[in-house]
Chain A
Amino acid sequence: MSEIKFIFDDITYKGHHGEPMSAALLRSGLLTITNSTYHGRPRGIIGLGVEEPNAIVQLISDTKESMRPATVIEVADGLHVSSLTGVGALPEAPDEARYDKTNHYVDTLVIGAGVAGLKAAHEHLQLGRKVLLIDDQPKPGGHLLHLGMNLPSVLLDIFTNENLTYVPRCTAIGLYDQNYIVAVERRSDHLGEAAPAERARIRVWHIRADKVVLAPGAFQRPLIFANNDRPGIMLSHAAATYVAVYKVASFRQAIVATIDNQGYRDALRLHEAGVKIEGIYDVRQIASGPSIDAAKAAGIPIRFRTAVIDTLANEKGACTKVILSDIDTNETFERSADLLAVSGGWTPIADLPTYIGIKPQWSAKHAAFLVNHTTDILQTAGMLAGEFGGDDDPAIFFGPTLNDEQSRVAYIDFQRDATLHDLKRAVGAGLQSIEHIKRYTTIGTAHDQGKTSGMLTIGALWQLNNSTEGKNHSLSPADIGTLSFRPPYIPVPFAALAGRERGPLSDPIRISPLHQWHVAAGAEFEDVGQWKRPWYFPKTGESMDQAVRRECIAARKGVAIMDASTLGKIDIQGPDAAVFLDRIYTNMFSTLPEGQCRYGLMCKADGIVFDDGVTTRLGKNHFLMTTTTGGAARVLAWLEEWLQTEWPDLKVYCTSVTEHIATIALVGPKSRELLQELVTDINISKDAFPFMHSRNTTIDGIQVRIARISFSGELAFEINVTHSYAKHIWERLWTLGRRYELTPYGTETMHVLRAEKGYIIIGQDTDGTQTPYDLNMSWIVSKKKEFIGKRSFQLPYLQASGRPQLVGLLPEDIDEIIPEGAYITLYSAQADEDGKTPHTGFVTSSYHSPEMGRAFALALIADGLNRLGEIVSIPIGKKVLSATICDAVFIDKENLRRD
């Protein structure tokens, strides 16, 4: 392996390309990596992989990714990181690295390329199945890699099988129903400066597999004793691997504390690598097996029924001495060691199966929770399924009995600085459930999500319950239960999950065929659903208020033009189309003559107004429905639902034509005059072309449909044209309109104009609880026919008095635009004894009206329709505004202007 240089906390270190950063740091003798988050205690590396709670770093590369364990970072030239005291920082600048995702469908997914996973892959390949094998290590082998051993040839052979896809550095972060797996593959960091620029840094895999084999392996756990967090105290398997495989020669004198035979195996590896083993201290009464025999043969001192209770440190905080205690006599003694290798048993990685509700089962034989699960689609293997191998006979032991003082420095969750004392305090406070204790102590809530601390907590709680202090005797850790794991299994950068769906690509953007014209005209835009709609068209130096005022005046006094193309449009055809619309709308459509338009309101079955719009009868069996811009998809789905699931006998087809047809609204008293210049085929005079009629004609030879529809109360024409001709029609009107000072306007002016006329916007002037009656629209509710929602109007709660009703509101101060959403209370003069005025409604729409020369608003007020003329109060911060309730139609109540 080639030698490389990397920077950690501004100091350059040497390492071997591709080895874990933790190995390189340990080899250079760096024991203390950081200080702990809350207690400020020196901490070093204790583990080998994602379970590492202490050695957390932040990348100083472009991405600045935070909270990465040094144990999982492969060193490469150009790597630059800094240590973290448990708290990462999000970078100021956006992460510009490339991220992508892929979807994968496969016969068998094997998670984990240890021996168990490789065996499973081999078996499934033998059956002729396509296999995807993912593993978080750079190379296959799992545990064998830690032992520096090669794969047996039968398992090596699978890598030449064309049915195998093997993805290293790929961690499954979530397992969901029906074998849906999300995994993240790190593709470039390990290459350092040599990483190709075009390569995605992280690829998110979305996998569906017919069968999943979970072979994630296990983590070794620490033991709980006083000062168990000092640098130089490591998990024995990690210590032995760093020394034996990564040639870390920083330790001279080791003590091994163990509850199982793993401690002996690791002691032997340390011994063979030249570390002096002062002794193996085993909590068990007796132990047997080849590893014990081998340790004895190697002359390593072994003492049973002995546990570590405390450690001492040098001035740097690193472990120098270990205090041991005879479990039976409580007699203590000291031994010197610069490495305390701890083997607290194995905890199989049960995160993934628990995500889909599979409960781990306690096995006393393994001193661990296992998931031994086999169904047609999901199977566990290896250590997770209890295949620990070896000659283990572990003790169920998590740490010796400690006094109060010792408990305060006996760490369970290193990252959270949560101790045995914290756990005792939680129990003392009366908490019993492991889930409550987790939240009370914060154990298991750090970046590592309890990978080392979860089982320790369960074990410590069980021991506490069984001690003299304990009140809740429990037979085994199974009685404590397990902690819930939740995805993701490891921290994942948001940038990786977002992939390329960032910025403008985060959601589709819908634009009208006239969009480029609006842009060129300097429009400010507003998002309406996915649509970009012109909000207003400011002239140079004009504020929004000024622009909207000018646009409003043009529409009321001259002529103005608006792009209404985003309105939802549904083409409804079939012999039963009229019958169908009668059932959908509250008012009658079967009586609508061909070539005429009608405003319609639709309710859900509960009688609540759901959408509105104008529908035109284009032919006997042909209607064109318009919906609110944001409601188009919802309404089409609603129509389809009734046709498919209730009235399949109706012969009706519904087709979305929103994008096909552009709609240009020409609005204002001079609109007819202007349009007359372009429309010569038909007579568009008041009498020949009445309000709410629709005419087919041509403009410059282009087929158009013009409708006398007004959303402003003014004389108005809506010109509908195939979207590709929209620009031509618009520009023709624009050129001819110069003489009339034709003014383009956007959604803000549209809102002011419609509110002046009391026209509602569903979703703004309604909050999902209004019936047509609440909106003062009883005129639109047919008494002659059935329709969806009708029956509900008889329900007592929709008939009750006090329901919020839509009314107008005129502020006392004519310049005071009340904020939309503001609470309305009874008039302050009606305050009760405590000076309080009860809430009585809220403001839904509020604008300045250039026509009236004053502010006005729409509001939903309890019983509002019966309270016209009443004065109400509106507290805004420390001010209390007054306003008078009035009819919601502010101008032209007689509808004289529209003709």
Chain B
Amino acid sequence: MLYIPCPYCGLRNETEFHYGAEAGVGYPDPNTLTDDEWAKYIHIRANPKGWLAERWVHFAGCSRWFNLWRNTVTHEIGPAYLPFTEQPKAPSNIGQEEQKA
């Protein structure tokens, strides 16, 4: 079970959170997009092997949304940050390289 640092409440068990997929995908202006572009916004999210900035919400705690770096291979947790704030750098992919080796 992941141990997730809620920016408001501190470290809490994964069961207190809901997952919100890739972070930083803003709601686009619907009327400027082609059907394909709009369908991509609705259905397609990044799912890389390695570090991914994700959205999480602390639904069983403060109900606040935040973003979090997480390694999808090693499940390492990186820094958490609030929406509309500067994204911290992705942690290095050392863990991931080890997995491949």
Residue on A nearest B55 in the bound complex, by CB:
A645
Neighbouring A residues of B55 by C-beta, 8 Å: 645
Q: Judge whether B42 and A606 touch: CB under 8 Å.
A: yes
Residue on B nearest A788 in the bound complex, by CB:
B27
Q: Indicate whether A178 sits within 8 Å of B2 (C-beta atoms), given known contacts A640-B65, A648-B83, A786-B30.
A: yes
Q: Judge whether B27 and A792 touch: CB under 8 Å.
A: no
Q: Is A795 positioned at the interface, with any CB of B under 8 Å from its CB?
A: yes
Neighbouring A residues of B43 by C-beta, 8 Å: 606
A179 to B65, CA, bound (A): 25
Q: Is A3 positioned at the interface, with any CB of B under 8 Å from its CB?
A: no
- Select A637's contact among B35, B41, B57, B74, beta carbons within 8 Å: B57
Neighbouring B residues of A94 by C-beta, 8 Å: none
Neighbouring A residues of B63 by C-beta, 8 Å: 637, 640
Q: Judge whether B26 and A646 touch: CB under 8 Å.
A: yes
Q: Judge whether B75 and A791 touch: CB under 8 Å.
A: no
Q: Is A177 positioned at the interface, with any CB of B under 8 Å from its CB?
A: yes
Q: Is A389 positioned at the interface, with any CB of B under 8 Å from its CB?
A: no
Neighbouring A residues of B84 by C-beta, 8 Å: 648
Neighbouring A residues of B38 by C-beta, 8 Å: 791-792, 795
Q: Indicate whether A791 sits within 8 Å of B3 (C-beta atoms), given known contacts A637-B18, A640-B65, A641-B57.
A: no
A495 to B2, CA, bound (A): 25
Q: Is A314 positioned at the interface, with any CB of B under 8 Å from its CB?
A: no
Interface membership of chain A positions 643-685, coded 1 if the CB is closer than 8 angstroms to chain B and 0 otherwise? 0111010000000000000000000000000000000000000
Q: Least Cβ distance of A571 to chain B in Å?
A: 15
Q: Judge whether A177 and B75 touch: CB under 8 Å.
A: yes
Q: Indicate whether A637 sits within 8 Å of B59 (C-beta atoms), given known contacts A180-B3, A791-B31.
A: yes
Neighbouring A residues of B83 by C-beta, 8 Å: 644-645, 648
Interface membership of chain B positions 8-30, coded 1 if the CB is closer than 8 angstroms to chain A and 0 otherwise? 00000100001010000011001
A786 to B32, CA, bound (A): 13
Neighbouring B residues of A503 by C-beta, 8 Å: none
Q: Is A508 positioned at the interface, with any CB of B under 8 Å from its CB?
A: no
Could you tell me how many residues of chain B have their Cβ less than 8 Å away from some Cβ of chain A?
29
Residue on B nearest A647 in the bound complex, by CB:
B27
Q: Indicate whether A177 sits within 8 Å of B30 (C-beta atoms), given known contacts A644-B64, A644-B83, A645-B65.
A: no
Neighbouring B residues of A641 by C-beta, 8 Å: 20, 57, 65
Q: Least Cβ distance of B84 to chain A in Å?
A: 6
Neighbouring B residues of A792 by C-beta, 8 Å: 38, 42
The residues in A between 355 and 389 inclusive whose CB is less than 8 angstroms from any CB of B are: 356-357
The residues in A between 553 and 577 inclusive whose CB is less than 8 angstroms from any CB of B are: none
Interface membership of chain A positions 462-481, coded 1 if the CB is closer than 8 angstroms to chain B and 0 otherwise? 00000000000000000000
Interface membership of chain A positions 770-791, coded 1 if the CB is closer than 8 angstroms to chain B and 0 otherwise? 0000000000000000100011
Neighbouring B residues of A177 by C-beta, 8 Å: 1-3, 75
Residue on B nearest A649 in the bound complex, by CB:
B84
Q: Judge whether B3 and A208 touch: CB under 8 Å.
A: yes
Q: Least Cβ distance of A573 to chain B in Å?
A: 16
A379 to B27, CA, bound (A): 44
The residues in A between 465 and 509 inclusive whose CB is less than 8 angstroms from any CB of B are: none
Residue on B nearest A654 in the bound complex, by CB:
B63
The residues in B between 35 and 60 inclusive whose CB is less than 8 angstroms from any CB of A are: 35, 38-39, 41-43, 55, 57, 59
Residue on B nearest A604 in the bound complex, by CB:
B42
- Select A791's contact among B20, B30, B65, beta carbons within 8 Å: B30
Q: Least Cβ distance of A650 to chain B in Å?
A: 13
Neighbouring B residues of A794 by C-beta, 8 Å: 35
Q: Is A734 positioned at the interface, with any CB of B under 8 Å from its CB?
A: no
Neighbouring B residues of A646 by C-beta, 8 Å: 26-27
Neighbouring A residues of B99 by C-beta, 8 Å: 357
Q: Is A689 positioned at the interface, with any CB of B under 8 Å from its CB?
A: no
Residue on A nearest B35 in the bound complex, by CB:
A795
Q: Is A692 positioned at the interface, with any CB of B under 8 Å from its CB?
A: no
Interface membership of chain A positions 293-315, coded 1 if the CB is closer than 8 angstroms to chain B and 0 otherwise? 00000000000000000000000
Q: Least Cβ distance of B30 to chain A in Å?
A: 3
Residue contacts A-B, CB under 8 angstroms, 8 given: A208-B3, A356-B75, A640-B57, A641-B57, A644-B64, A646-B26, A648-B83, A791-B38
Closest CB pairs A-B (n = 5): A791-B30, A178-B3, A177-B75, A644-B65, A180-B1
Beyond A178-B2, A178-B3, 6 additional pairs, beta carbon < 8 A: A208-B3, A640-B63, A645-B55, A648-B84, A786-B30, A795-B39
